[in-house]
Structure 1
Amino acid sequence: MRLPVAYLKTFQGPATGVICERERMDKFGRPFLGATVKPKLGLSGKNYGRVVYEGLKGGLDFLKDDENINSQPFMRWKERFLYSMEGVNRAIAAAGETKGHYLNVTAATMEQMYERAEFAKQLGTIIVMIDLVIGYTAIQSMAIWARKNDMILHLHRAGNSTYSRQKIHGMNFRVICKWMRMAGVDHIHAGTVVGKLEGDPLMIRGFYNTLLLPYLEINLPQGIFFEQDWASLRKVTPVASGGIHCGQMHQLLDYLGDDVVLQFGGGTIGHPDGIQAGATANRVALESIVIARNEGRDYVTEGPQILQDAAKTCGPLQTALDLWKDISFNYTSTDTADFVETPTANV
């Protein structure tokens, strides 16, 4: 799709955008770090809040509420919000850094979503979360609310694969990226290249460029078939999550760059020494690779050795590297660019 500038100007675009988010979070020169928590696994509200606290105190910037049906008898949404924000505030006090938890306001009606979002605002959160399944009208309504209330808006792409994973049906995820940038979300899950929610590296780069660049050039290998002037709409921060771990940090930084949230779910919570240790392992791994890159080293080739050197003074990182080693998910990507290069005739 190519969208005319006159049409784009009828949309507000991302409520906050990458640049304002970095200023609000006071995080520069590196990707954001996150983790995913699944309430449906049976956590009580209090135990959920403990997970949030430990992850943030260990060095993460964000934690994510990975749930669509997010108010169940064993943990109602309001209870989870209260305990989560207690964990956020305690972690901020302990670490001296701005941190956040995506309070999931997804619900059955707009009235319920506004109620949850207003309560989240009263509790002092900097970010709320919605799921793609609420629909495009509801997403735009929440984006307008987020801009009015100085809130970062995280979008989980739950349900997209029902219509974006086949070449003969539905639509490409790149189109969803364009629509969501127009609709006004600040974050969207956009693939990892490595990990469980993998993707062809060129196609993933096409998704990221669609979300981040001010102007898109035609790039057939990345699946970008039309140029696109984004008419000064703000950037959307891509989120990489699904089966990634700290041993892949050099690859993630190489493939995805700085403007991304690296979200390790099992790669944080599955750490043998606990959630806080898992978060610390990820933070140390990230900062060691970023420092090596900034020093001009070949951090992609030297990545495993850089991580091993960092682990000598960081027990949690050593444990994580020993546990996950070279674990990877080697799927054949279902999304590749279908184009044929034609020879240029000599004129």
Structure 2
Amino acid sequence: MTRIYATYDIETPVGLERAAAVLAGEQSTGTFVRLAAETDELRARSAAVVENIEPTGTSKIPSLPCRKSGETYERGLVTVSWPLGNFGTSLPTLLSTLAGNLFELAELSAIRLVSMDLPAAFANDHPGPQFGAAGTRSFMGGHEGPLIGTIIKPSIGLSAQETGDLVRTLVEAGIDFIKDDELQANGPDCPFDDRLDAVMQVINDHADKTGKTVPYAANITDEIDQMKRNLDKMQSVGADCAMVCVSSIGQAGLRSVRDHSAALIHGHRAGWGVYSRSPDIGISFEVMQKLWRLAGVDHLHVNGLGNKFTEDDATVAHAARSVQKPVSDHGGPTHAAMPVYSSGQTIWQVDPARRLLGNDDFIFCAGGGIMSHPSGPAAGVISLRQAAAAAQQGIPIEDFATTGDPLSQAMAQFRRPEIKV
């Protein structure tokens, strides 16, 4: 396959066929008037093609502010394709084409990019995750089962030394994985270098004593040169996981980190609601996660089941599955990443999180689900391990728990959410 396909959910006052033609022209060879240089030969070589139009409904009012108006606003799914020769396999140019000026077209009263089908050339030309699930387990000395993780909380306000003290409590509790919050990067109250030194002193001491290495996802999000300095600092102290806010640093920034990194790359999707929350404008996770994986992310946040945010469980399930699927359906490396569940997660979500994937290649991050356990953080970690063991054995946690153990205490402490997957 030598074309890229994208499907949009659009609404328009000018008719679906006209709107689709305007979209295809704007994002390839056309503009608001026909140009002399826009020859038939050029159009045949480089123009986007409207492949399919599927009407889905009409409305009397526009979903979004729209300069053009009509008696009705038609809604439909429109599939457009582009020749690979227009932009090669450049991820920034791909995003500019599939999700660029079309969001501003006056002919559209709603537009959302819902899917993207890439040729194998993208999978072949980009490095993808350097380590993925297998590499993550290797860093940990061969860990089995899902990774039970947590987040440094409070998100902001702890000094470097206070962060190190909290990490000591967590590693002694038996945690598998620790990450910075996305809000904590390199502020003057908790500088990156000082925080990393304090945390890695604890983690390295713990590894020396117990043989267990706990990955710490240090938030390196910054300007590109500073992120490279952060990575160099990490390597000097034996830190093996760098967290980046993927939307904040962009495709080129992420690829730069991937090319410079000897560490795992933990992708946080801070700001995701800007793309996803409205059904009438934005970009689906199905699209963006492919770009982030191609650029080199090893772990990728997908929200959590029964979460505190707006996404329903079906959306979260689709997101979690998507990061383990091939980036191209037409061949090339799979470039699978580890989904990271977070947001209000407790012992109740472990089994459904595992079942929807059918494997243990995920990170399960719980903040309050560990810290708020009535017997303390160590019992919180144990309760999640018990929940994971129950899930692996196919036993409901109500039958797996024994009276007074950490799992039964957690069951009494945390409300059981209604999960629909």
Q: Does 1:232 align with 2:339?
A: no
Q: Aligned partners of 2:340, 2:377: CA distance in 1, in Å?
A: 20
Say if 1:273 and 1:45 are closer, same or farther in 2 by CA, change over 3 A: farther
Which stretch of the first structure deviates more once superposed, 205-214 or 132-141? 205-214
- Count of residue pairs brought into register by the alignment: 304
One of 273, 281, 286 as aligned partner of 1:174: 286
* 1:10-41 CA distance string (max 9 Å, x none): 21111212222223323455111110114544
Aligned pairs for 1:30-69 (under 5 A) are 30-38=145-153, 40-69=155-184
- Displacement after TM superposition at 1:166 (Å): 1.6
Q: Contact conserved, 1:191 with 1:198, CA < 8 A, in 2?
A: no
Q: Contact conserved, 2:130 with 2:296, CA < 8 A, in 1?
A: yes
Q: Aligned partners of 2:410, 2:206: CA distance in 1, in Å?
A: 22
Q: Does 1:304 align with 2:398?
A: yes
Q: CA RMSD in A?
A: 2.4
Say if 1:325 and 1:204 are closer, same or farther in 2 by CA, change over 3 A: closer
**3-state DSSP of counterpart to 1:35:** strand
Partner of 1:282: 384
One of 343, 365, 377 as aligned partner of 1:263: 365
**3-state DSSP of counterpart to 1:135:** helix
Normalised by the size of structure 1, how large is the TM-score?
Answer: 0.80
Q: Aligned partners of 2:307, 2:250: CA distance in 1, in Å?
A: 27
Aligned pairs for 1:98-247 (under 5 A) are 98-107=213-222, 109-132=223-246, 133-146=248-261, 149=262, 151-197=263-309, 199-214=311-326, 228-229=329-330, 231-247=332-348
* 1:278-337 CA distance string (max 9 Å, x none): 2232223323432x23xxxxx3xx23221x23x64x3x43432221142x378x99xxxx
One of 414, 417, 420 as aligned partner of 1:324: 414
- The answer to which structure, 1 or 2, has the higher relative contact order (CA under 8 A, 6+ apart) is 1
Moved over 6 A (4+): none
Q: Aligned partners of 2:154, 2:239: CA distance in 1, in Å?
A: 19
Q: Aligned partners of 2:158, 2:217: CA distance in 1, in Å?
A: 17
Which stretch of the first structure deviates more once superposed, 153-162 or 3-12? 3-12
Quick check: which one's helix share is greater?
1
Q: Contact conserved, 2:137 with 2:144, CA < 8 A, in 1?
A: no
Q: Does 1:72 align with 2:184?
A: no
Say if 1:82 and 1:214 are closer, same or farther in 2 by CA, change over 3 A: same
Q: Aligned partners of 1:252, 1:163: CA distance in 2, in Å?
A: 24
- Displacement after TM superposition at 1:130 (Å): 0.8
Structure 2 gap ranges (5+): 1-115
- Displacement after TM superposition at 1:156 (Å): 0.6
Say if 1:289 and 1:329 are closer, same or farther in 2 by CA, change over 3 A: closer
Say if 1:83 and 1:276 are closer, same or farther in 2 by CA, change over 3 A: farther
Q: Aligned partners of 2:267, 2:327: CA distance in 1, in Å?
A: 23
Percent identity (aligned) = 27
Q: Aligned partners of 2:310, 2:370: CA distance in 1, in Å?
A: 19
Q: Aligned partners of 2:310, 2:391: CA distance in 1, in Å?
A: 21
Matched residue type, 1:79: D
* 1:227-256 CA distance string (max 9 Å, x none): x23511431001000001123332232234
Q: Aligned partners of 2:371, 2:354: CA distance in 1, in Å?
A: 21
Q: Aligned partners of 1:21, 1:269: CA distance in 2, in Å?
A: 24
- Displacement after TM superposition at 1:101 (Å): 0.6
Q: Contact conserved, 1:247 with 1:304, CA < 8 A, in 2?
A: no
Q: Aligned partners of 1:48, 1:273: CA distance in 2, in Å?
A: 21
Normalised by the size of structure 2, how large is the TM-score?
Answer: 0.66
